[in-house]
Amino acid sequence: MLPDTVYEAKQIVCPVGLKIQKIHACWNNCVLFRGENEDLDNCPECGMSRYKCRKDGGDDGEDNMDERKKKETPRKVAWYFPLVSRLQRMFANKKEAKLLRCHEEGRNKDGMLRHPADCAQWRYFDNTYGWFGDDPRNIRFALSTEGMNLLSIMNHPPWLCNKCKYIMRSTLVSGPKQPSDRIDVFLQPLVEDLQLLRQ
C-alpha cells in the first residue's frame, strides 16, 4: 500500500536510510529553487515569494538575511527520492540483480506475448538504440504521471512489475495543490538522474 501523506512516506523511507532531497518549489509550480534558481527569494517567472510571510511582519535587515533564510518556511517543497542510490541497492543484492535481467535471460522467446519485452515497441526500441538492448542490465522504466509520479521497472517478470516492492515513487509534492500541467518542472531531478545513468 502506498502512503497517503508525507508523514507516512517519511515513516517508510527514513528507517531504510534512502536519501531524500528536499527542494523548494514555486507556489504556482513555475520553477524549482535549485541550480541557477537556488539562491533566489522570488520566482523568476511569476514573482511569488519563495517563503511564507512572517507573522510578526518584522524586517531583520541585510545583516541577518542569511540567518533569516535558514528559519523561514518555504511555501512549497518537492521531496525527490534519488533514483541512482535505489538502483545501486537493487544491484547489490544477487537475487534482485538476477530479476533485473530476467527480461533477457529468463524469458521464453517463442513469439507469444507474455512480457513487455515481447511487444513490438520493445523490439523497435532495441533496433533503434541497439547499444541499449545489448546489455541486459540496462533498466527500462514505465513512468506514471497521473496524480502519482511512479516508476515501474519493466525488466522484472510481469507478475513483479507492479508489485508495491518494485514500484518507485520519484517525487512527492507537499501542499494542497497538484502540479497538474506543470509536472515537467517537478520531474527535472528525475530526468537528470536518468541522463546520468545513460552515460
Per-residue pLDDT reduced to its tens digit, 144-159: 776 666 788 888 888 8
pLDDT surpassing 70 at residue 65: no
Beta-strand ranges (E) seen in the chain are: 21-25, 76-80, 141-144, 149-153, 167-173
Q: Is residue 131 part of a domain?
A: no
Q: Is residue 165 part of a domain?
A: yes
pLDDT at 66: 54
pLDDT grade for 32, boundaries at 50, 70 and 90? very high
Q: Which residues contact 135 (CB under 8 A, 6 or more apart)?
A: none
Q: Is residue 111 part of a domain?
A: no
Q: Is residue 167 part of a domain?
A: yes
pTM over 0.75: no
Q: Which of 6-20, 81-95, 151-165 has the lowest mean pLDDT?
A: 6-20
Terminal Cα-to-Cα distance of the chain (whole angstroms): 34
- Report, as an integer, the average pLDDT of 183-199: 85
User: What is the rounded distance in angstroms from the CA atom of residue 197 to the CA atom of residue 74?
Assistant: 31
Q: Is residue 120 part of a domain?
A: no
Q: Is residue 92 part of a domain?
A: yes
What is the span of the domain harbouring residue 47?
6-100+139-198
Compare 126 and 108 and report the one with higher pLDDT.
126
Q: Is residue 108 part of a domain?
A: no
Residue labelled with grid coordinates 546489455 = 135
pLDDT at 1: 60
Domain count, the chain: 1
- Report, as an integer, the average pLDDT of 170-180: 74
Half-sphere exposure of 90 (CA within 13 A, CB side): 21
pLDDT grade for 142, boundaries at 50, 70 and 90? confident
- Report, as an integer, the average pLDDT of 62-73: 58
Average pLDDT of every residue of the chain: 80
Q: Is residue 186 part of a domain?
A: yes
